[in-house]
């Protein structure tokens, strides 16, 4: 009971924090992207991924909808849209 509490690394992936989003979610348009990777760098969740321009997308299972990627995108290629009423929210 009072020994060290040890858990496997990176186990938090089981927490689907995407359910925290309330009304809005980012939408990656993938049109004018220049591949600056600022959305990857800035995401507090670390859930944005992509390899080259116009491939960046966030993982909606973890995205909490803070909107930072939308604000930082220099090409305004990420917009905040309303969460669709049914089904789409994972």
Partner 1 sequence: MENNPLFKPGHTGCAGCGQSMAARLVIEAAGANTIVVNNTGCLEVFTTRYPESAWGVPWIHSLFENAAAVASGVEAALIYLGKKDTTNVIAQAGDGGTADIGLQALSGMLERGHDVLYVCYDNEAYMNTGIQRSGLTPFDTNTTTSPVGKASVGNIRQKKPMPEIANAHGIPYVATCSVGYPQDLQRKVKKAISIKGPKYIQIHVPCPLGWRHESNLTYQIARLAVETGLYPLFEYESGKLAAVRKIQPKPVEEYLKTQGRFKHILNNPEELKKVQGVADNNIQKYNLREESPSS
Q: Are 42 and 68 in contact (CB under 8 A)?
A: yes
Can residue 39 be called a binding residue for partner 1 (CB under 8 A)? no
Can residue 28 be called a binding residue for partner 1 (CB under 8 A)? no
Q: Which of residues 4-23 bind partner 1 (CB under 8 A)?
A: 5, 7-17, 20
Interface pick for partner 1 out of 42, 53, 60, 83 (rule CB under 8 A): 42
Q: Are 58 and 43 in contact (CB under 8 A)?
A: yes
The span from the CA of 29 to the CA of 57, in Å, is 9
* Angle ∠(57,60,64) on CA atoms, nearest 5: 110
Can residue 54 be called a binding residue for partner 1 (CB under 8 A)? no
Can residue 68 be called a binding residue for partner 1 (CB under 8 A)? yes
Contact residues: partner 1, CB under 8 A: 5, 7-17, 20, 40-47, 49-51, 59, 62, 64-68, 70-72
């Amino acid at each position: 009971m009072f020994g060290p509490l040890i858990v496997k690394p990176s186990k938090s992936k089981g927490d689907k924090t995407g359910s925290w989003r309330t009304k809005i979610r980012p939408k990656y348009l993938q049109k004018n992207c220049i591949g600056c990777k600022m959305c990857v760098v800035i995401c507090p969740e670390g859930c944005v991924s992509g390899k080259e321009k116009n491939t960046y997308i966030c993982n909606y299972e973890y995205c909490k909808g803070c909107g930072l990627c939308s604000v930082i995108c220099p090409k305004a290629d990420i917009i905040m849209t309303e969460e669709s009423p049914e089904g789409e929210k994972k």
